Amino acid sequence: MPLGGARTKRTLDASVGLASDADMAVRYGKKGARTNEIDVSRYASAPFRALSPFAKHSEIPVPGRVCASILLDLSEGNLMPSDLDEAFSNTVEGIWQGLKVIDGQTERAMFTGRVKKRRGRPSGHDFGYRIVDYLSARALIYVPAYRHVLQRAAVAAVLDEVAKQGRSDDVFVVDVSFSDNPFSARRPLSHAKLIVDHLNGALGPYEDADRRIAESLREMSAPFERDLSDDELWPRYNDSIRRCADRVLELGNLSSSLDSYEAWAHLYERECLIAEVVRAGGTHLQIDPLRDALDAWVRAGIMTQSEANTLSTFAPMCRFSETWYSTARR
């Protein structure tokens, strides 16, 4: 989940391919309805087929398995992708299809293998410690994975070309199907619609969420950047974990109101912060704040007790004991 900066009013910027509606006319449309269209499907010509979710890109983080602090460690060389199991995919579509739960099974081989639409009625998508519904999966899995691809330099250059064409004339971005409402579960999510919304700044709430997540990470790392004794360090670190856990409570239970990118981004932020609390709070000196956080999240209805039990096994402490949370609760 990339760490972004603060959101600002959009002006045309060739380095990132973003513009305001007043500066460019990049719109979403139906394939074949107009001549001035850009096809971004897997059947498109180069360079625009690079925008397809079927396009191969190396090491796309799988949402629910790679949190922001892990990406930071990877960027600083503290971790290697090979250190993580089933945490990266070659395609966005491989993530989306591979995490579908059909007849109780996922198909994670699609992360690196051949991708195709899986047959059968999904019961949800696997988000690591829980199975999430269709709209939650869009907010937590598809959009974060696709945004990661759009932010890569090679793909951003393709977006620049879309923006460039939009500066000179109205241009319509199209896919094989048309679905102009990403918040309706009645139609598939259109990545062409996401491209247009990304270029026109509508996905800004995700950037805001990334900024707040980055701030939480900086706050949790701050005690280690000072010359503190253990008696000073660990209480301050625990307090930062608790504040991050409290932010999760502030965001609350959001699954019933996923009708805007703002709501999607709040859900994304909440789940990212949950992952960071578990990763930071799961060592032997930080069991208490993590246990308290899990209990509070269960009481608030953010997760079930079963989901909290599963989530606790992702903490670093599980290397020593997989039962520390349930044992501590007794």
Task: Give 103-118 as a DSSP string.
Answer: TTB--GGGGTS---PP
- pLDDT by residue (tens digit) across 202-259? 999 999 999 999 999 999 999 999 999 989 998 999 999 999 999 999 998 876 689 9
- pLDDT by residue (tens digit) across 189-215? 999 999 999 999 999 999 999 999 999
The per-residue pLDDT for 213 is 96
**Nearest residue to 293 via CA among 234, 244, 233:** 244
Residue 157 falls within a domain, yes or no? yes
Per DSSP bridges, beta strands 171-174 and 37-39 are: parallel
State whether 321 and 273 are in the same domain: yes
The per-residue pLDDT for 170 is 87
Q: How far out from the chain centre does Cα 98 lie? A: 16
Residue 311 falls within a domain, yes or no? yes
The per-residue pLDDT for 143 is 98
State whether 50 and 78 are in the same domain: yes
Q: How far out from the chain centre does Cα 189 lie? A: 15
**Nearest residue to 141 via CA among 155, 126, 153:** 126
The per-residue pLDDT for 199 is 94
Residue 5 falls within a domain, yes or no? no
Residue 294 falls within a domain, yes or no? yes
Give the total number of structural domains in the chain.
2
The per-residue pLDDT for 325 is 58
Beta bridge partners of 28: 173
Instruction: Please identify, among 165, 199, 233, the residue that sits at the C-terminal boundary of a domain.
Output: 199
CA 143 to CA 43: how far, in whole Å? 21
Structure tokens given for 270: 């909440």
By residue range, what is the domain housing residue 220? 204-329
Spell out, as residue ranges, where the chain has pLDDT lower than 50: 1-22, 319-324, 327-328, 330
Helix (H) or strand (E) holding 39: strand 37-39
CA 44 to CA 53: how far, in whole Å? 12
The per-residue pLDDT for 327 is 46
State whether 225 and 145 are in the same domain: no
Residue 15 falls within a domain, yes or no? no
